[in-house]
Chains A and B, each alone.
Chain A
Amino acid sequence: MAMIEVKNITKSFGSNIVLRDFSVDFEQSGVTVILGPSGTGKSTLLRCINGLEKTDKGEILVDGLSVNNKKNLRQIRLACGMVFQQTVIFPQMNVMENLIMSPIKLLKTPKGEAVDRARFYLKKVGLESKEKSRHNELSGGEQQRIAIARALMMNPKALLLDEVTSALDPEMTREVLNILENLASEGVCMLCVTHEMQFAKDVASRILFLDGGKLICDTGKEDFFYNARKENERINKFLSFIGD
């Protein structure tokens, strides 16, 4: 059974139908990169999987639990950590508190253990010296790396990454992508919405291409960048536009 099963979902905002009768499955392994033009429902798909948006029709199952059932949401969200486009650090807390608050409150992790794990993840994202820093002492890239570490602190089975580099300058983008590449090499399961083609080429094990709320292509990266673009005019146009 797939870890995440998206079954015939439709999602609209007013008269704008963002996802149309959309179905896809995700296994608990590898890095799936979701590509497509803006407004095609990539972020909405991740938000629906995480239960942040309600679907109009259809069903999403995470580990066999339906997202439509409110009682399952906590378990589903613990299973699927999510990092957003905007950098969101809790401003009233320092970096360490940002990381340990949720495991202590939700997973009842003892504080000492939570602190040790936080230091482990801070080292992983290269910010071990910043544990006492506040959000206004961190760059955008550092904040985003903290957000990734914070999501990892909850031991998710998969990470949902919603254009995590789109608000960052090229240097900061590289910082964050390096971290994601390291995580991918360690086998962390990720679903990434991104426009970073090099990242997709380097780490993706599977690529989904969405257009107009529909799944146009679901294939491996080699096939996508060499065969699919030759066969599908829409994919070719998209890749040409973004300079690939």
Chain B
Amino acid sequence: MQEAHVYGKYAHFAIGDLYTFLSSCGTTLTVTLISLFLGSILGIVIGLIRCSHNKVVCTVPLVFIEPLRNSPLVVQLFLVYYGLPVVTGTLLDVYSAAILTLSLNTAAFFSVLVHNSIKAVPVAQWEVGYALGHSKASTFIHIIAQQAVRLLIPQAITLYIGQLQCSSILSLISLRDLCRVGQLLTVRTMQPFIVWGIVFFLYYAISFPLARLASYLEKRLNYSY
């Protein structure tokens, strides 16, 4: 009871805390969205290179993809934020390190989705394109790409939700995202259940509609060849 009384001295939320939560939510969303955008662009390029019929060319991207897919994001983050400056001699601010790490990680996973989506389009679709007189590029642009994108979208949204949740790791380098603010407010208010409950709700409020959207699109865009 004594302890509860002491903690009680700290346990006041101010209206400003709500603003802090919303502002940190903005940071989380901004960093995540920028990273997802950059990662997706890079992932498309790498995914297309993976589809090359040249064995050397299609193998090269694995040098980038495999290490990033098979190591923890937090290790990649520390390598970029703490390790890279030692080699380059340039300190990265938390935002740059966070965006760089999350972008590269997203690119690795996204490239696999792009590659798999293109490969999932039946070979017969390519052959009909060729038989009609289309070149490889024309077949891809006019026939395959739209089908691949339809297969890709639901998987991409699922990846985006995962990356949004993984972005909480960025708090470990003191980025003032939702998770970091949760840590700070817990220390100040000593009300972890309420604080983390709010953090939990905010993540859920962002992720759940996306998850429903992915589920809807999966049904809506599914082809039966």
Q: Please list the residues of chain A having a beta carbon within 8 angstroms of any beta carbon in chain B.
A: 50-52, 73-74, 77-78, 81-82, 84, 86, 88, 90-92, 101-102, 105-106, 136, 147, 150-151, 154
**A-B contacts at CB below 8 angstroms, number:** 56
Which B residues are CB-close (under 8 A) to A52?
A: 127, 130-131
Which B residues are CB-close (under 8 A) to A84?
A: 124, 127-128, 131
User: Does B225 reach chain A (CB closer than 8 Å)?
Assistant: yes
Asked whether B128 lies within 8 Å of A105 as measured between CB atoms, the reply is: no
Q: Is the interface of B mostly helix, strand, loop or mixed?
A: helix
Asked whether B132 lies within 8 Å of A92 as measured between CB atoms, the reply is: no
User: Does B89 reach chain A (CB closer than 8 Å)?
Assistant: no
* A12 nearest CB across to chain B (Å): 20
Given contacts A82-B131, A136-B224, 9 further A-B contacts (CB under 8 A): A77-B133, A81-B132, A84-B124, A84-B127, A86-B124, A91-B225, A106-B133, A151-B132, A154-B133
User: Does B96 reach chain A (CB closer than 8 Å)?
Assistant: no
Asked whether B130 lies within 8 Å of A102 as measured between CB atoms, the reply is: no
- B105-134 CB contacts (< 8 Å) to partner A: 122, 124-125, 127-128, 130-134
Question: Given contacts A91-B225, A92-B150, A101-B142, is CB(A106)–CB(B134) below 8 Å?
Answer: yes
Which A residues are CB-close (under 8 A) to B224?
A: 136
Asked whether B134 lies within 8 Å of A105 as measured between CB atoms, the reply is: yes
- Choose among B127, B128, B133, B147 the residue with the greatest number of A CB atoms under 10 Å from its CB: B133
State the CA gap A50–B122 with chains docked (Å): 19
Interface residues on B, range: 20 to 34
Which 6 residue pairs of A and B lie closest in terms of their CB atoms, listed nearest first?
A82-B131, A78-B133, A77-B133, A92-B146, A102-B132, A91-B223
* B173 nearest CB across to chain A (Å): 43
User: Does B215 reach chain A (CB closer than 8 Å)?
Assistant: no
Which B residues are CB-close (under 8 A) to A73?
A: 130
A102 nearest in chain B by CB position: B132
